[in-house]
Structure 1
């Protein structure tokens, strides 16, 4: 069967997708542009680490391997990427001045497609990772957490619509933190200074394209909540990927937190 390319950043999603792709009988060629390799060299048929300022080399590797389909997975340090890509032999158009994520990712996809590569939706090989609606892990929400999550989702959607970030933390009707370039886990950790009891909402970009940058949560998200004393996490149902579900559920139960899938019309 055809080889599938995997362009990997930081985080556990790339490893999970590599394993699922191979389980589907496909060969996996991974080009990692950011982050710790982890187990990627073991779970891919070919693994190459390519610095961001050598992005064209990564494309060459994929083309040499006959890759026509690929998946993008994992977080990339956007500031490093924006510093590196303009010098990559014209790969990054200087005219692209709006570099918020909803503008960046479609441009990346177009560049890859121009090179003859079709970008597949992230859940293609792992549809079971997509969060459903309702209680996902841990205990039920209490009334105060439910009210705070409603506000957190309303604000998070406004923040996402502005192309700023995908997560917001609230406690007792007060917005404690808004995610920007630092990422969700770092935002959650910032809430520690405000004391325990925050709830966190994480949403998809408006009109989310399932090929890239779907919201991802996992055990590391709950570890950040433990550090900050956060008590509840709401994720957008149908658009969020949940990694390592057994460990995620066990951690939520141990911490006594609530994790819910929030339907888009529910916030």
Structure 2
């Protein structure tokens, strides 16, 4: 170990910040923890902790520099912050122009890449949990006693392929697959809430999805910066998988960490759930980072409301996402707000997807102006109840990938209702389908 290295930990929720701190101390590295007060809920033991609010950027930097921190790990569960709990200090306002560029960068990947650049601009090297505590990383093979069946392996590969296909759009790190069917895709809500959603759908007698079986697949998105967004599982993941009736959890080997590893394996064994690290097979080249400004997609306005430029860009991204999902037989709808994909449809229906997305939010929304677009693959999902859901959620408009049926009274009534509610309705011109 280099005696000159000093580790800083910017801690969110969960046990990983403490586990990484303990690992560093065992190897003789001094540790300084700065915990985000509204997020960090773990026990830090004997480690000294400085607590700050989201907006106290100056306090974070002062604590790390006072401790002569050389390397920084940003780890732990966080929610997208509400402006009211940020309590900014002078350091926040000093760096405000850069902060605004960070939150406007679009999607988790964009935000987190800018966060890395910010701290490295302060002379602190940002490293991943795998460098700070390599023993937490899940390698290739099975961790516990349970083993995947041949059918599970098929679902695992489909889940890996789906996350890879959607990586260019910065959509979540995990999916639920059962008997070849995509039952859930993680949006901005995180893995635990996605699993709870899958469990609730399985318990609903009105749905025809599997009552048990299936696999949670979790992996990094192509191009994801693992220094600040390394996927993780833990005891809560095991509990969520068990409540959803899944038979196993598969993660991409060497890119996912296990929190409370011993407990995670023990509880997985007790629930007869396999946990397997999977080496990615050759799935072809990953798509490049999606930029809607580089896509030539033509629209016609079905209502007289004119969208802003940023809304048109959200429409382009939403329709491209549902195009990509069509190959997996899901994705009738998607919600994009300020270039963030909040939610995609996975069999629950377009209207239900809007209702789910209305409870989610992107990073640091600082305006109450209508923002965001609900995109539909086909015109058949455009109904007055869908329009009502979009308006109630506060989105600016609707984008539709299918052809406009002028003689369809239901669709005409929905468009008229959207116009009355101040929503734009864009219809993609035939043939304009562009991927990353």
* TM-score when normalising by structure 2: 0.57
User: Rg: which structure is higher?
Assistant: 2
In the alignment, what sits opposite 1:242?
258
Deviation at 1:86, TM superposition (A): 9.0
Q: Is the Cα–Cα contact under 8 Å of residues 17 and 126 in structure 1 kept in the other structure?
A: yes
Taking the aligned partners of 2:20 and 2:66, their CA distance within structure 1 comes to 22
Aligned length: 265
- Gaps of at least 5 residues in structure 2 are 203-210, 284-436
Equivalent runs, 1:33-182 vs 2, <5 Å? 33=36, 34-40=38-44, 42-44=45-47, 46-80=48-82, 84=86, 88-89=92-93, 90-91=95-96, 92-96=98-102, 97-182=104-189
Deviation at 1:79, TM superposition (A): 4.5
Higher relative contact order (CA 8 A, sep 6+): 1
- Gaps of at least 5 residues in structure 1 are none
Pick which of 6-15 and 76-85 moved more: 76-85
Q: Is the Cα–Cα contact under 8 Å of residues 121 and 212 in structure 1 kept in the other structure?
A: yes
Q: Secondary structure at the match of 2:33?
A: strand
Deviation at 1:215, TM superposition (A): 0.8
Taking the aligned partners of 2:86 and 2:163, their CA distance within structure 1 comes to 30
Give yes or no for the alignment of 1:254 onto 2:270.
yes
Which of 13, 16, 24 lines up with 1:13 in the alignment?
16
* TM-score when normalising by structure 1: 0.91
Deviation string 1:216-253 (CA, Å, 9 cap, x unpaired) is 11122101111211111110001111122222221111
Deviation at 1:30, TM superposition (A): 0.7
Q: Secondary structure at the match of 1:52?
A: coil
Deviation string 1:139-185 (CA, Å, 9 cap, x unpaired) is 11112222222211111222333101100111122211111111111
In the alignment, what sits opposite 2:228?
212
Pick which of 229-238 and 118-127 moved more: 118-127
Pick which of 50-59 and 94-103 moved more: 94-103
Pick which of 195-204 and 71-80 moved more: 71-80
Q: Is the Cα–Cα contact under 8 Å of residues 133 and 238 in structure 1 kept in the other structure?
A: yes
